[in-house]
Structure 1
């Protein structure tokens, strides 16, 4: 390929797009070395600075990484985790599987959950708003980090009103078979509706560290409210590595 002077894309973008296409088609597979800067200059008949910018674009997208003294290589991507609406099916809880567990095990992957905090805390404003309680009211929070195949993929916080979880295993490190939702239903809070909102952001430094994110990789914030009838019984927020999750939803079309 040579640079097309009539293309509205910059020369560096044309080169980056061509290399990205090769990566997506697996002509350049994970672990393969990219052509060197001098090889790109020769291949695309371009200037060294242009080749350098093209590689920088791919690095910013998290597709390649430089290794000191060796060159630039295609990144080995971690497993892609499906996040589907069917993970909330009651038959999965009855079989002893929490939503995330059901998704991961269906894909044949190994996982573990690291509990970071179990505590009574003042409700953040957005949590209090969903529960319909005054801001700063004491609520119970479960904070954890989830690992898939030795890679951290998600930070998750679940908030509950104190009376909802009093005396339940939700306050313990291990919530038991079926997870927190199974414990809520045992207590009489039969889940009837789930609301989710997704928001894509660039990560904070703390999120980069906790999820071991490569430069340029965004995160997806998932906000979830679980209802029993009209009552919110869990307010949830997770931060997911944007290059490790795909979302799948199926629902009836509104009248």
Structure 2
């Protein structure tokens, strides 16, 4: 009985999860899958494409399809925003990456009018200025996230937040220094297919979606103090949430 592309992909995924196929290993090629599963070549190709689209495998022109060597990034929302991290001068990325290295590229810091949605979330008047911090994050040389933060200019323009390097602990530590410590966060997530520009920006594989996250930070008195709009390569992230009943 012929197997479907999804079933073949499930089998290969299980072999990857069990460690039978390790990062860098070559996956069975289309001829092998045709022979072993009794399927058409197109079905075998679709099975491998599913794994590539999920971020588990990569194609190498003229060589074959291989188990991806890049380890997924666990994004633990509860842990990464905890004050005992940024409050101690650490980057919130430390919670995600441990000893893995990350770099920041395409950093831009400037003052501009707040976009309409951002103005609404920050409870600002239309046209009111914000400090914009736009940057792209790379882990082990691979682009994984584009992020743009918006903060009310009247409250932060004369602080290190308006400088390229805000110092240890990042902008949340600097907000605390200004008496605007963020104590509560709200995040909205949605998955979608990327635009052509976003595909190039994050080097997203064909067919791989992105995750769009909009986070708002609030002070103790309920004032919204930052909006961060993030775009993540869904193929490299694992979303984790630790909740208590």
> Normalised by the size of structure 2, how large is the TM-score?
0.88
| Deviation of the 1:231 alpha carbon | 0.9
Structure 2 residue matching 1:39: 3-state secondary structure: helix
Checking the alignment, whether the CA contact within 8 Å between 2:74 and 2:238 is kept in structure 1 is yes
Determine whether 1:173 maps to 2:164: yes
Determine whether 1:47 maps to 2:46: no
Determine whether 1:85 maps to 2:78: yes
| Deviation of the 1:20 alpha carbon | 2.4
The answer for the alignment partner of 1:159 in structure 2 is: 150
- How many residues of Structure 1 are paired with residues of Structure 2 in the alignment? 244
**Per-residue Cα deviation, 1:194-253 (whole angstroms, up to 9, x for no partner):** 111111122222222222222222221121111111211111111112122233334555
Determine whether 1:67 maps to 2:66: no
**Per-residue Cα deviation, 1:149-199 (whole angstroms, up to 9, x for no partner):** 222221111101111102100000100111101111111113221111111
Checking the alignment, whether the CA contact within 8 Å between 1:104 and 1:110 is kept in structure 2 is no
Checking the alignment, whether the CA contact within 8 Å between 2:76 and 2:96 is kept in structure 1 is no
| Deviation of the 1:26 alpha carbon | 2.7
Structure 2 residue matching 1:13: 3-state secondary structure: helix
Determine whether 1:239 maps to 2:234: no
After TM superposition, list the pairs within 5 Å mapping 1:114-193 onto structure 2: 114-193=105-184
Name which of 28, 31, 39 aligns with 1:38.
31
Structure 1 runs not aligned, ≥5 long: 5-10
> Normalised by the size of structure 1, how large is the TM-score?
0.85
Structure 2 residue matching 1:127: 3-state secondary structure: helix
Distance, in Å, in 1 between the alignment partners of 2:243 and 2:41 is 51
Check 1:25–1:137 CA distance in 2 against 1; reply closer, same or farther (3 A cut): same
The answer for the alignment partner of 2:22 in structure 1 is: 29
| Deviation of the 1:104 alpha carbon | 4.2
Distance, in Å, in 2 between the alignment partners of 1:209 and 1:15 is 30
Q: Bigger radius of gyration, 1 or 2? A: 1
4+ long deviations beyond 6 Å = none
Name which of 237, 241, 244 aligns with 1:249.
241
Structure 2 runs not aligned, ≥5 long: none
Which stretch of the first structure deviates more once superposed, 209-218 or 170-179? 209-218
Structure 1 residue matching 2:127: 3-state secondary structure: coil
Distance, in Å, in 2 between the alignment partners of 1:251 and 1:49 is 43
Distance, in Å, in 2 between the alignment partners of 1:76 and 1:134 is 48
